[in-house]
Structure 1
C-alpha cells in the first residue's frame, strides 16, 4: 500500500513568516508546495499551510521532538491558537507542535463553493476532490516531516495526534507510512471496519440509533421543547413552498431544521445551545430573524463544503460506493417513522433531529451547495476509491500507539472503535464516559 515516492523537486518550502507571540507560546507560520495528486494522474500543485507552535521558553531547544496535529472533519482547518491553554498548552511544553491545515482547508488551497466550479465539469471537480482524502493527507505529512524534522531528533520521526477524522488519518498513516512515526495518538477517532471496502452503511445504521438516544435525552432535559420543535416544523410545512427562506438564502425546510442535531446532540453544551435557539424562534406568528440567522450560522456548509462533499467517502476504500448511506439508513422501514418530522409534528410527537449525516437534499436546501449537487452525486456513486488502511500491516504494527474512546460518542461508534483498537497491534486504549466527542477541547 505504500505510495510511490515523489521526487524531492516536487516539494517546495517557502520562507517562513516572522514568528509572533500568543500568550505563553511562540508561533511561526509557513507554507509548503506539494503535488495535487500523488498518483501522478492529475497535474498541478497545492499549498500546505502549517503553524509551528512551541512554548516560549522552549523555542531555542534544537532537539525538541515534533508532533503534528490532525484536525477533525473532513474539511476543517486546524485550530487557531488564541492562548496557552488546554491540550496545546501541555503539548507545546514537550513538542514543537505542527498545526496543519489539511489540504483543501483554511490556507491550504481551500476548496470553496466559489472556486470549485472553476475546476471544470462536475466530473472534473469530483476527480479533483478525490485527491483530498486521508491517503493524500498522509503523504502531505510525510513531505512536511522530511522538511522539518532533523535526523538527530528521534531519527527524523515525529508524533501524530489525530482528533476524530484526524484519527482516521492516523490509522492511514500507520498503514501507509509507519516509518515516519515515533508514536500515534487517537482521540475519538478510531476508524470503523478497517477491512471493509465501504463501512458507511453499517456506520450510519448504528449512528441512527445513537441519535435517537440523544434525542430522547434532549427532550427529557427540556420537555417543553417537544411542543416548540413541533410548532416550528408545522409552520415550515404549512408554507406554500414548504420552507422559509433565511437571510443567507437557505431553505429552512423541516428536514433542514432537523439537521440542527449535527452540532447540538453530540457536543458538550449542545443541548443548551439548541434549547436557547428554540426558545427564541418566534416573532409573533413568524419565525424570528434571530432564529433564522442563527440557523444559517449553525453549520459550515458555505465555508467548508468538503465536509458535505467528502463525508461519506472517508468510509470508502475500494470498489463499493457509499450511495448516500445516511439517507438509506433513515429510509429503512424501522427508522422511517422515527425521522419523519412532519408526521411527528402533526401527531404532536417529538421531532427527532438528525446527527452527523450528509443527505442529497442538502444540495437543494443549502444555497452554497446547490451548484455542487452533480459533483456530490458523482462522488456518492464512485466505486474506485484508493485504499486507506492495510489491515495486515496494522495487525503487525510496531509504532507505539494509544487512543481514547468516548463511551457516549455520537459521532464515532464505540463498539466499532473497540474492534479497530484490537486490530492495531500494541495500541493502548483508554475508555471514558466523562467526555463527549470533543473531549480534547475540554480536558
Structure 2
C-alpha cells in the first residue's frame, strides 16, 4: 500500500482493481475513537472504497460520499456497475464509506467485543458510534482525499440520511450538495424516540393489514405457530444458535419484511415452510429447522449487534430513551399481544424497526450485550445531533425522496422536519418504499439530481 495525508499513519491507499465496468481502490484511515480528545483517545480504522467508471481513474471528477442505512450496516460491495451506482459513476468519483463499527471500519462484532470486559466499558465504547462521529470521520476523510480539501456531494440512504442532517448542522462547509433517500430524521431536542415509535407503530398496523389482505391464509398459519410456541415448555422453541423463539419474538419478523420491497412475499414463503413434514406416522408436530434458521438469518443480529445497541440512541439528544418502543407498545393495549390475538381469532400483528429489552434475553447473540444495552437506554448526557439554527439558515442545496408509506422512517415525522431545513427540495412518492434508492435502479438518484440541477419544476 502507498500512504498519504498528514502523516504516514493516517491514510493508506491501495491499488486499483476491477469489477465489470468499474475501477475500485481501497482506503484506510486512522482516526480517534473520541474526537473531543484526539491525542489520548484510542485509534480506530475507517475504511472507504473509491469507485469510478472504467477509464476515469485519472479524471478530475467531483466526489460523492455515500452513507449507508443502519445503524450498523456496512456499505455495499460492488460486483458490477448497476443501479444508482452506475448512474452516479457517470459524473462522480464515488466514495463508499463503511461507517465506524461496520464492515472494515474496526467492526463491532460479537467476537471483537469479547476484548471489552465490562458492560460499562462496552457502553462507553459504543456511545462514540453515532451520527456525530460518523460526520467527524467523513470530514477527516474529505480533507485528506478530496483535492484542495474541497466540498463533496453526500448521498444518504435511511440512517445515512440522518447522518447527512447532522452533517448539515455541524459541518456544512464540507458539503457541496446533499441527496437524501428515505432519511429525514426527527430533530427535536431531548429524546424523540417516543414520537418516532408512536408514528411507526401506526404505520406498522397498516402494513400488517395490507399483508394479511394479500395473504389471508397466513392469519390461521400464524395463529397455529403462536399457539404452538405458547404451549411449548419454556414458552418457545430453541433456535439453532441457542436462543429461543417465542410468540413475541416471532413478531420481530415484521422488521425485515413489512417495510421492504418484496418483503410481504418473502414472509409468506417463510410461513409456507414453517412445519416439518410428518414422515413417521404419529411423530409429533414441530417447527422446521428451515424456518428457525431463516428467522435468525433474516433478523441478522449476529452480524449487526451495533444496530441493536443503538436502535433508540440515534434519537437521543440530552435525554435517555428508556426503552421507548417497549413503553410505546404498551399504549396500544392488547393490540400487539400475539397470544391473545391468536386466542381471539384476530390477526397477529408483526412489529417493525424497533427493539425491546427482552430481545437481549431471547436472541442468543445479544445476551452478552444486555447489560450494556440497559446502560445505553438509561444514558441521559447524549451530545446533540442536530442544530436547528444552522438548519434554518442552511445554504447547501438539498434534495430528498420521501416515501409516503415508509414504515421505517415515518412520513409524518419526516414532514415535521422538512420546514426546518432551509432550501430543501422534496419528492414525495408512494411508488417506492424505504429502499427506493436500491429498488428503482437509477431512477430515484436521477430524479434527485434533476431537482438539484433545476430540471424539475418548482412547486
TM-score category by the smaller chain? over 0.9
Which residue is equivalent to 1:440?
437
Q: How does the TM-score come out when normalised to structure 2? A: 0.91
Which residue is equivalent to 1:80?
77
Q: What's the Cα RMSD here?
A: 1.4
Which residue is equivalent to 2:171?
177
The answer for unaligned runs of 5 or more in structure 2 is 279-284, 441-459
Query: Structure 1 residue 43: deviation in Å?
Result: 2.0
Which residue is equivalent to 1:353?
350
Classify the secondary structure of the residue corresponding to 1:408: coil
Which residue is equivalent to 1:300?
300
Could you tell which deviates more after superposition, 176-185 or 17-26? 17-26
Q: Give the Cα separation in 2 of the matches to 1:381 and 1:115.
A: 24
Q: Give the Cα separation in 1 of the matches to 2:51 and 2:293.
A: 35
Query: Structure 1 residue 57: deviation in Å?
Result: 2.9
Q: How does the TM-score come out when normalised to structure 1? A: 0.95
Q: Give the Cα separation in 2 of the matches to 1:163 and 1:348.
A: 39
Say which of 270, 273, 277 aligns to 1:277.
Answer: 270
Contact 1:186 1:403 in 2 (8 A): yes
Contact 2:19 2:79 in 1 (8 A): yes
Contact 1:117 1:125 in 2 (8 A): no
Structure 1 stretches (4+) deviating beyond 4 angstroms? 7-11
Classify the secondary structure of the residue corresponding to 1:293: helix
Contact 2:199 2:413 in 1 (8 A): no
Classify the secondary structure of the residue corresponding to 1:286: coil
Q: Give the Cα separation in 1 of the matches to 2:231 and 2:129.
A: 41
Q: Give the Cα separation in 2 of the matches to 1:215 and 1:226.
A: 11
Which residue is equivalent to 1:255?
248
Counterparts of 1:33-432 in structure 2 under 5 Å? Answer: 33-40=30-37, 43-61=41-59, 63-151=60-148, 156-192=150-186, 194-283=187-276, 284=278, 285-318=285-318, 320-332=319-331, 335-432=332-429
Contact 2:199 2:412 in 1 (8 A): no
Query: Structure 1 residue 20: deviation in Å?
Result: 1.3
Q: Give the Cα separation in 2 of the matches to 1:262 and 1:10.
A: 43
Classify the secondary structure of the residue corresponding to 2:405: coil
Query: Structure 1 residue 409: deviation in Å?
Result: 0.3
Contact 1:67 1:95 in 2 (8 A): yes
Q: Give the Cα separation in 2 of the matches to 1:116 and 1:255.
A: 28
Query: Structure 1 residue 18: deviation in Å?
Result: 2.0
Query: Structure 1 residue 8: deviation in Å?
Result: 5.4
Q: Give CA deviations for 1:181-232 in whole Å, capped at 9, x if unaligned.
A: 101111000011x132111001001111110100010000000000000100
Q: Give the Cα separation in 2 of the matches to 1:36 and 1:187.
A: 28
Contact 1:317 1:387 in 2 (8 A): yes
Q: Give the Cα separation in 2 of the matches to 1:195 and 1:351.
A: 33
Query: Structure 1 residue 440: deviation in Å?
Result: 0.4
Contact 1:402 1:428 in 2 (8 A): yes
Which residue is equivalent to 1:13?
11
Query: Structure 1 residue 131: deviation in Å?
Result: 0.6
Q: How many residues align?
A: 428
Gap change, CA 1:216 and 1:10, over 3 Å in 2: farther
Contact 1:11 1:35 in 2 (8 A): no
Query: Structure 1 residue 10: deviation in Å?
Result: 10
Q: Give CA deviations for 1:222-265 in whole Å, capped at 9, x if unaligned.
A: 00000000100100000011110121212111111100000110
Which residue is equivalent to 1:4?
none
The answer for unaligned runs of 5 or more in structure 1 is 1-6
